[in-house]
Amino acid sequence: MGQILSNPIIDKEKQSGSDRLTGFGFCAIQGWRMTMEDAHINEQNVFHNDDSSIDHLALYGIFDGHGGDGVARYCGTKLVDIFRNQFCFNEYNCSKLKLSLIQTFLNTDIEIQNDTDLYNDHSGSTATVIVISEAHQNIICANAGDSRTVLAVDGWGKALSYDHKPSLLNETSRIVAANGFVEMDRVNGNLALSRAIGDFEFKSNSTLLPHEQIVTALPDILEHKINYDHDDFIILACDGIWDCLSSQECVDLVYYGINLGTMSLEDIASRIIDVCCSPTTEGTGIGCDNMSVTIVALLKQGETVDQWFTRVRGKKTESPTSFENRRKMVFSYYNFTDDETIFDVTTKPPEQNSQEHTKELSNKPEYSNPTRNPINLFSIESLLEAGLEISRAQQPQQFFHGSALADMLHSLSDAAAGETLPYDDTDNDADHHLDETDTKLEELE
């Protein structure tokens, strides 16, 4: 879990906005962690003009730093510029847009290595980024690491990204081929994710291409064609949220907030963080991380955010539980006294939290938490999770394909977890795109 504070830092960073393509609400909190290492991008118009001859692109991103905040902060401030600098409208199509996102991730690594202020920085950052195109009416998601992007479709969650964990077979294969190893689900016994921007101590083999390194910044790319009658919103969040909520549970909470009729997207994002921030440090460690979440509304042509709210509420999508009840489920070990105090940890003044926390610790006998058992690397839960990720990941470089075991585990994971599965998209130029990507990566050598 790492070092934590005696009481959480509850000051929330909030943002919201809208234009003709998207509306958004964002919230972030440092929480129990010693420092804030998350960063974000909420860029509604990448090229800052309304010229109809140039595609209107919106870019949103969440960056979850580790080992420091240097790389995450750099991504939050520089990645849009890096994307603009290598984007070419003279040869513009969806395949080129995908390639531009891949190049953006890889070039961000290069730019950080050449930045004198970050020369001795040993931090890294996950990155989950979406670009929404008005001209093509599509969403392209680039992801490296275990932050996550989810699309809400008529009440159901569709994965637009997949978590990169070292224990996944395709990730392990790359790590081992680069003379690394996986121990206790960590790269070289250290890093809990297998793709990231930064982390250059894992990218030092000069004989390997960027996508062959022990840890790579190469993102997965998923494309989704927008159907405005069914596609409602997108959630981007760091793993501090996903440790507490499944993709579908988070989607359900957003619909719940929408249906209340009194909350903005910013309010809903803030309440989701309230749900996920742990009431105490005496639990399993879940809910003690930095937390960032962005909710992006997909607006029809000529539609305002208020009209979008009315349209989505008109679908009458039922949510299985409230914010309050979901929080009680996430932290079932904690004795919440009443609904008025259920969100106190993120709404009380810090000094009041501190006083009550100190009192709680002084009266609490020492005990060993029975839920914190040693990790069983071969547990069925671990295998199911791996099967879900392996069978659905669409990655530029795969080492295992068509695994019957993966398919079986995927089917089991559906029944056991009840997770919503991605819809099947048809992408006729997928093979061409991957070949083009491989050629471009060789040119970067």
Contact at 8 Å (CB) between 46 and 57? yes
Residue 342 has pLDDT above 60, yes or no: yes
Tell me the three state secondary structure of residue 218: coil
Contact at 8 Å (CB) between 413 and 383? no
The rounded distance, in Å, linking the Cα atoms of 282 and 285 is 8
The rounded distance, in Å, linking the Cα atoms of 73 and 20 is 28
**Overall average pLDDT of the 303-317 stretch:** 97
* Predicted confidence band of residue 282 (pLDDT cuts 50, 70, 90): confident
Residue 409 has pLDDT above 90, yes or no: no
CA neighbours within 13 Å on the CB side: how many for 81? 6
Contact at 8 Å (CB) between 331 and 287? yes
- Give ∠ CA 431-233-107 in degrees, rounded to 5: 50
CA neighbours within 13 Å on the CB side: how many for 136? 19
The rounded distance, in Å, linking the Cα atoms of 203 and 398 is 19
Q: What is the CATH number of domain 4-327?
A: 3.60.40.10
* Predicted confidence band of residue 49 (pLDDT cuts 50, 70, 90): confident
Residue 382 has pLDDT above 50, yes or no: no
The rounded distance, in Å, linking the Cα atoms of 128 and 144 is 6
Residue 414 has pLDDT above 60, yes or no: no
pLDDT tens per residue, range 205-221: 999 999 999 999 999 99
Tell me the three state secondary structure of residue 151: strand
* Predicted confidence band of residue 439 (pLDDT cuts 50, 70, 90): low
Give the per-residue pLDDT at 432. 46
Q: What percent of the chain has pLDDT over 70?
A: 76
Angstrom CA distances, 321 to 96, 230, 259, stand at: 42, 22, 12
Residue 384 has pLDDT above 90, yes or no: no
The rounded distance, in Å, linking the Cα atoms of 223 and 188 is 32
Would you state the structure tokens that stand for residue 124, as one six-digit string?
């890294």
Residue 379 has pLDDT above 70, yes or no: no
* Predicted confidence band of residue 54 (pLDDT cuts 50, 70, 90): confident
- Give ∠ CA 113-118-121 in degrees, rounded to 5: 100
Give one DSSP letter per residue of 424-438, joined into a string.
----TTHHHHHHHHH
* Predicted confidence band of residue 48 (pLDDT cuts 50, 70, 90): confident
Give the per-residue pLDDT at 407. 40
Contact at 8 Å (CB) between 411 and 391? no
**Overall average pLDDT of the 366-380 stretch:** 33
Backbone φ and ψ for 359, nearest 5 degrees, come out as -60, -40
**Overall average pLDDT of the 156-169 stretch:** 96
The rounded distance, in Å, linking the Cα atoms of 409 and 174 is 22
Tell me the three state secondary structure of residue 183: strand
Residue 368 has pLDDT above 50, yes or no: no
Residue 424 has pLDDT above 50, yes or no: no
More confident residue, 420 or 443: 443
**Overall average pLDDT of the 157-172 stretch:** 96
Q: How close are the terminal C-alpha atoms of the chain, in Å?
A: 37
More confident residue, 178 or 354: 178
Mean residue pLDDT across the chain: 82
Lowest mean pLDDT segment, chosen from 64-78, 177-191, 337-351, 365-379: 365-379
Instruction: Count the Cβ atoms, other than its own, within 10 Å of residue 212.
Output: 17
Residue 232 has pLDDT above 60, yes or no: yes
Contact at 8 Å (CB) between 226 and 134? no
Give the per-residue pLDDT at 152. 98
Model confidence, pTM: 0.80
State the sign of the Cα–Cα–Cα–Cα dihedral 107, 291, 56, 425.
positive
Backbone φ and ψ for 119, nearest 5 degrees, come out as -60, -40
Backbone φ and ψ for 307, nearest 5 degrees, come out as -65, -35
Tell me the three state secondary structure of residue 419: coil
Residue 372 has pLDDT above 50, yes or no: no
Give the per-residue pLDDT at 169. 94
Residue 429 has pLDDT above 70, yes or no: no
Tell me the three state secondary structure of residue 21: coil
Give the per-residue pLDDT at 284. 84
Tell me the three state secondary structure of residue 413: helix
Surface-to-core class of residue 70, CB atoms within 10 Å of its CB (0-12 exposed, 13-18 middle, 19+ buried)? buried
**Overall average pLDDT of the 373-379 stretch:** 33
